[in-house]
Structure 1
Amino acid sequence: MKKIIVPIDFSEYSDYALETAAMLAKKNNAEILALHMLEMSEAILTKGDSEMQQETIFYLKLAEKRFNEFLEKDYLDGLTVTPIVKHFKVFSEVNEVAKEQQADLIVMGSHGSSGLKEFFVGSNTEKVVRYAEIPVLVIKHNPILTEFDNVVFACDFSEDAVAAYLNAKRMCDSLKAKMHLIYVNLPSESFKSTPEIEAKVSGFLKKADGDLEGLSNVAYVNDYTVEKGITSFSNKVGADLIAIATHGRKGLAHFFEGSISEDLANHATLPVMTFKI
């Protein structure tokens, strides 16, 4: 892990994310890319070239000043921190910055959302999770005592999830964390018997790892929803972090089917890290 992106909106939640990123950067000798999305009004963008440039420069300088003040944190001492200011506020663009900078991880603070606001609008974190092609770590609380030693990776053990599992495994290795794998069995059409689950998991691990050494780290949980199953198991094993594969659904597919990873990113009290399938 060499580069970590942290979107900054000057809130306490982006402060939590920045402090978490600092902890990870110190462990991995990584650079922090602090990203501020400066929203430019339509009025400014539709002005004449010369006038627009002057006003854009003015707002960029204001943002830079506030940015520099925000980054004056003791926990950043000794780290390489690169401020990046972009004059847009479209959160799908965070992925473009990540690709441009060849970043390895996005760390983002979130207070989550719920009810009608979540259903129709969603949170900015949810949008980043949906579009990001690299892992996204979502932080909800002050991370002073946070150590990611115990990680729960939730998986459906389908062939599509092999790459996400291997990415999560590499991330856990870099964090020196123990990874628990979990399959949540639901009382619905997707219900599977124990032999069926064991066969599915064994085939998955053989394809992903080439052996069955990880089988002892796999748990099977029965619950009414995947989200509830992951949360209860994470509490049971004292997890520090929930990791999950995400399809990054967009448009109508996302609207009707939803996304377990985005629900967890919004609702879980533990930090959540997503890996794109």
Structure 2
Amino acid sequence: MKLLEKILLAQDFSKSSQNLVHSAIELAKIFESKIVPIHVLPDDIINKKVKALLNETAMTKLEETAQRIENEGVDLDNPLLAFGSPHEAIVRAAVDINANVILTGSGESKKGDTFQLGTTTERIIQKSEKPVFVIKEGILLNVRHILCPVDFSESSKRALKNAITMARRFKSELTILAVCELQGSIWFTSEKDKEQENELRYTLHQEEFDSFLNGFDLTNLNWTKETPKGNPAKEILSAISKKMIDLLIMGTAGRTGLNRMIMGSVTEKVVREVPCSFLTLKSEDVISLQLETHIKDIEKLHSTGLQLMEDGFHEEAIGQFKACLSINDMHVPAYKGLAKVYEKLDRPEKARMYRRNAKEIMDKIWYQKIEEEVRKLRGS
């Protein structure tokens, strides 16, 4: 079972790249992913000797990265050496190899910089339809708390769906944030009218938030929701600081449709100043479930079902457990697994049925053992 099959690791071999490679390895271990390292060289070097030396140096460094990945027991694909504009070459390569995500660094910034995001990384986010995972300089990938801001748009639905799965895999806390923008117009006849308008706006916002969340499976997840009032970008950055967020996951197309180079205005403001690592999603999921349909091993089917259940893919888990029963209709762990899944889906009748089936089979096996022991004692 694959959730995140292929990671395109974009390196520039700067000092911060060492942390980037470590993060790629950790991510690949958690999601059983394959890593494809890539480095981009300029294509306008005229001096042949200089060009050859750069090529040789880059390939050596890519091979060092590949060796480091292999030494960690992580699956690896052939490193790529591309030429041209870095962001264009990386975005193009992600499509060519059908990567699930582009993993890149935030770029090296000086202390006190207002804008902490490198130009190349910002352009990758703007241009790429693939999800982009940005690792903050000097910060190891240790995800204990994820923040997912939503504005009830399709892009934020995608972001939250992926955030839920990642929170389960990282075993981290998840905060879902929906900022309510208040009306500040001077055209109200009185301050009281403006306050009443904002109270109503906030009430409707909370109702819409609850309705939005009803479409997601949040069972057995350590999560909270926040509904602050104010400027979305400021409130998101404030929440990151207050809650010590390790990973921000958000969609890149805003609710209002105000896009700049296909990146929402709120997202643009946040990712430029965010102090933690972040993942942006546009039109593709970073999590894409791929099941092996040819599995005949009952134990592997069962373990896949358990992992699917833990990740929140309940219907797919049911399919795996039922596949176990098609091989052996007395496989008790599969019946127990089905009972647990239906409990999570709040379908108690189905859960009781499969739990009863498991008990009947266990009782039958027990009585058969007793009968065999009795026969042995009688010498028959």
TM-score (norm 2): 0.58
The 3-state SS of whatever aligns with 1:185 is coil
**Partner residue in 2 for 1:158:** 153
Query: Which amino acid is 1:61 matched to?
Result: E
Change (3 A) 1:104 1:124: same
Contact 1:138/1:265 (CA < 8 Å) preserved in 2?
A: no
2:207 paired residue among 196, 199, 202: 199
Contact 2:177/2:227 (CA < 8 Å) preserved in 1?
A: yes
Change (3 A) 1:147 1:113: closer
Query: Which amino acid is 1:86 matched to?
Result: A
Query: Which amino acid is 1:198 matched to?
Result: Q
Query: Which amino acid is 1:127 matched to?
Result: R
CA distance in 1, matches of 2:235, 2:28: 31
Shift of 1:79: 2.1
**Partner residue in 2 for 1:217:** 224
Partner deviation per Cα, 1:114-160 (whole Å, 9 max, x = no partner)? 9xx97xx971111111122232221223244x421210101111345
Contact 2:145/2:245 (CA < 8 Å) preserved in 1?
A: yes
Shift of 1:91: 0.7
Superposed, 1:123-134 pairs within 5 Å as 123-134=119-130
CA distance in 2, matches of 1:167, 1:259: 21
Contact 2:155/2:282 (CA < 8 Å) preserved in 1?
A: no
1:15 aligns with 2:18: yes
Contact 1:168/1:275 (CA < 8 Å) preserved in 2?
A: no
**Partner residue in 1 for 2:72:** 77
Query: Which amino acid is 1:80 matched to?
Result: D
Shift of 1:76: 5.3
**Partner residue in 1 for 2:166:** 171
2:27 paired residue among 19, 24, 27: 24
**Partner residue in 2 for 1:48:** none
Q: Please tell me whether Structure 1 or Structure 2 has the larger radius of gyration of its CA atoms.
A: 2
Shift of 1:109: 0.8
**Partner residue in 2 for 1:49:** none
CA distance in 2, matches of 1:96, 1:158: 27
**Partner residue in 1 for 2:315:** none
The 3-state SS of whatever aligns with 2:102 is strand
Q: Which has the higher contact order (CA 8 A, sep 6+)?
A: 1
CA distance in 2, matches of 1:94, 1:247: 21
Contact 1:2/1:31 (CA < 8 Å) preserved in 2?
A: yes
Shift of 1:200: 1.5
**Partner residue in 1 for 2:378:** none
Structure with the larger strand share:
1
Change (3 A) 1:188 1:96: farther
Superposed, 1:39-50 pairs within 5 Å as 39-41=42-44, 43=46
CA distance in 2, matches of 1:110, 1:122: 6
Contact 1:154/1:243 (CA < 8 Å) preserved in 2?
A: yes
TM-score (norm 1): 0.77
1:275 paired residue among 275, 278, 281: 281
Query: Which amino acid is 2:270 matched to?
Result: L
Contact 2:126/2:262 (CA < 8 Å) preserved in 1?
A: no
| Residue correspondences, number | 260
1:141 paired residue among 137, 141, 145: 137
1:260 aligns with 2:229: no
CA distance in 2, matches of 1:89, 1:255: 17
CA distance in 2, matches of 1:244, 1:187: 22
**Partner residue in 2 for 1:245:** 251
Shift of 1:6: 1.4
Partner deviation per Cα, 1:175-208 (whole Å, 9 max, x = no partner)? 33332100122344696733111221133223x3
CA distance in 1, matches of 2:217, 2:245: 27
Gapped regions of structure 2 (runs ≥ 5): 186-197, 284-380
Contact 2:151/2:178 (CA < 8 Å) preserved in 1?
A: yes
Contact 2:10/2:37 (CA < 8 Å) preserved in 1?
A: yes
